Amino acid sequence: MSHKYIIESGGTLQGEITVPGDKSISHRALMFASIAKGNSLINGILRSSDVLCTLAAMRAIGVHVEESTDGTMLVHGTQEFRQPREPIYLGNSGTSMRLLSGLFAGLNIPVELHGDDSLSKRPMKRVADPLCSMGFIVKTSPDGTAPIIIESRDQQDTIEDFNYSLPVASAQIKSSILIASLFSKIRTTIDEPSKSRNHTELMLRDFGADIRINGKEVTIVGGRELIAHDIQVPSDISSAAFFIVAASIIPGSDITLKRVGLNPTRDGIIHLLKQMNADITIENRLQSGSEAIADIRVRHSPLKGITISPEYVALAIDEFPILFVAAACAKGKTKLRNAEELRKKESDRIHVMAEALEKMNIKVTEYDDGIDITGGKLKTPNEALYSHDDHRIAMSLSVAAMATQTGNLTLNNVETVESSFPNFHLLMQQAGMNITLK
């Protein structure tokens, strides 16, 4: 059954909000705790459909995970795995599919990984190719998409050192290679055109891996046993972003997002919004393991359009749909280029957002690798809008609907929000958005 949001224009956002745990960190915590020696307690893990796919995959290979009513998970790390009886279904989760390809290849567990319609359209050759160069047998469909089939191989350590230059900045490809490298004795060096999120590197180091980060280059020497490590998952900056932008564009708003992960490879949205004249203050900075955490206070402020410089693309890769909403409310033009990766996410985020914003009275020009958005007055469209089965599109358009002057927006197929932020509408209601789930 398809779910919809009805969002009424108007209202302001107030108060203190704690958004759920970071999705990227939650996936990695489950994977690394599963293969470490000993038990790891994970606190604040995101219980979204994407992360639950990773949990189910870990259980399918025989990992024991205890879930408590207080939301913690106790992962019993193991070095003895069983072969899954059936293909593993990973729903909408690109992170699960790409990182688990590296994990299962490295562990020499033959398996087939498949996903929903959206995931089955996304490029997977980008992980299969480097894994094959490392000597693993990883196959995709003829057009380079899922299902991914990992076959067992008799001989380990077929290559000496492995050096790989990522064709695009991608934490998922980088992580897949790093995870696959854990189980051999080889030295693997990866460099990327610009720095992508580094949660894998930081967390593997916390689990005791021999890993070195040098700017855009990372080197890992496999063969060292991972040791159990407790993890406190920070709130997800990608989920906080919907509140940060909403408070920036809705007059009268003043909101504080509590204990948000502020890793410098993820905080591009804060820098870009500040360039746009947003009123954002960072308070109560602290460190949780290797991850930086802080409270983020946001008050409404008139925004101005900017030209986004290319180094921010990877640092804000998941925040562009909501940043486009900020641009739609800003004075002047916002220009983005070098962002063709946005067309390969859960939907074609450049096209889908361009189409929706046009229907909401905003002037946009699409480019192959970006978009120009001229700020104006967002208006409620004459028709219902559709999420394109992309969680971040659904949440971004909800914020756009709140920023209109009058009317109600109906947004269809919002069940996709479950993949990263199951209580989005409840927290938005609490903060002051008039949003109903039907």
Catalytic machinery residues: 318
Q: Residue 317, interface with ligand S3P (CB under 6 A)?
A: yes
Q: Residue 57, interface with ligand S3P (CB under 6 A)?
A: no
Minimum distance, C-beta of residue 80 to ligand S3P, in the bound complex (Å)? 27
Residues of span 331-350 touching ligand S3P by CB under 6 A: 341
Beta strand 254-261 pairing with 291-299: antiparallel
The secondary structure of 151-205 as a DSSP string is E--S----SS-EEEE-SS--HHHHHHHHHHHTTSS-EEEEE-SS----HHHHHHH
Q: Taking contact as CB under 6 A, which single stretch among the options 85-93, 170-178, 209-217, 249-257 is the one that binds ligand S3P?
A: 170-178
Q: Residue 318, interface with ligand S3P (CB under 6 A)?
A: yes
Q: Taking contact as CB under 6 A, which single stretch among the options 64-72, 109-117, 165-173, 187-195 is the one that binds ligand S3P?
A: 165-173
Give the alpha-carbon dihedral of 324, 355, 173, 33, to 10 degrees.
Answer: 70
Looking at 170, 181, 188, 235, which residue binds ligand S3P (CB under 6 A)?
Answer: 170
Minimum distance, C-beta of residue 25 to ligand S3P, in the bound complex (Å)? 8
Minimum distance, C-beta of residue 57 to ligand S3P, in the bound complex (Å)? 15
Looking at 54, 92, 140, 175, which residue binds ligand S3P (CB under 6 A)?
Answer: 175
Looking at 196, 235, 334, 404, which residue binds ligand S3P (CB under 6 A)?
Answer: 196
- Residue number with CB closer to ligand S3P (316 or 329): 316
Structure tokens at 81: 């795995």
Contact 120, 154 (CB under 8 A): no
Minimum distance, C-beta of residue 209 to ligand S3P, in the bound complex (Å)? 17
Cα dihedral sign, 126-128-131-133: negative
Looking at 4, 5, 24, 48, which residue binds ligand S3P (CB under 6 A)?
Answer: 24
Minimum distance, C-beta of residue 92 to ligand S3P, in the bound complex (Å)? 11
Minimum distance, C-beta of residue 172 to ligand S3P, in the bound complex (Å)? 4
| Interatomic CA distance for residues 311 and 242, integer angstroms | 22
Residues of span 73-132 touching ligand S3P by CB under 6 A: 95
Contact 41, 72 (CB under 8 A): yes
- Residue number with CB closer to ligand S3P (4 or 197): 197
Q: Taking contact as CB under 6 A, which single stretch among the options 144-152, 164-172, 221-229, 369-377 is the one that binds ligand S3P?
A: 164-172
Residue burial 254-274, b: 16+ Cβ < 10 Å; e: rest? ebbbbbbbbbebbbbbbbbbe
Q: Taking contact as CB under 6 A, which single stretch among the options 102-110, 168-176, 205-213, 410-418 is the one that binds ligand S3P?
A: 168-176
Q: Scanning the structure block, which residue is given the tokens 């009317």?
A: 407
Minimum distance, C-beta of residue 317 to ligand S3P, in the bound complex (Å)? 5
32 alpha-carbon distance from chain centroid: 18
- Residue number with CB closer to ligand S3P (24 or 239): 24
Looking at the DSSP assignment, which residues form a beta bridge with residue 189? 163, 219
Q: Report in angstroms the alpha-carbon separations of 4 from 145, 345, 398, 409, 417.
A: 29, 22, 11, 10, 11
Size of the site for ligand S3P (CB under 6 A): 11
Residues with Cβ < 8 Å from 41, sequence gap 6 or more? Answer: 72, 73, 74, 75, 230, 231
Closest chain position to ligand S3P (CB):
24
Closest listed residue to residue 50, CA positions, set 1, 84, 83, 99: 99
Q: Residue 172, interface with ligand S3P (CB under 6 A)?
A: yes
Looking at 55, 171, 182, 293, which residue binds ligand S3P (CB under 6 A)?
Answer: 171
Q: Residue 26, interface with ligand S3P (CB under 6 A)?
A: no
Contact 251, 299 (CB under 8 A): no
- Residue number with CB closer to ligand S3P (37 or 47): 47
Q: Where are the beta strands (DSSP E) in 227-379?
A: 231-232, 254-261, 279-288, 291-299, 333-336, 363-367, 370-374
Structure tokens at 62: 């025989």
Minimum distance, C-beta of residue 175 to ligand S3P, in the bound complex (Å)? 6
What is the SS3 assignment for 247? helix
Minimum distance, C-beta of residue 351 to ligand S3P, in the bound complex (Å)? 17
| Interatomic CA distance for residues 213 and 2, integer angstroms | 44
- Residue number with CB closer to ligand S3P (197 or 229): 197
| Interatomic CA distance for residues 94 and 341, integer angstroms | 13
Q: Taking contact as CB under 6 A, which single stretch among the options 171-179, 271-279, 288-296, 430-438 is the one that binds ligand S3P?
A: 171-179
- Residue number with CB closer to ligand S3P (251 or 264): 264
Provide the binding-site residues for ligand S3P, judged by CB under 6 A: 24, 95, 170-172, 175, 196-197, 317-318, 341
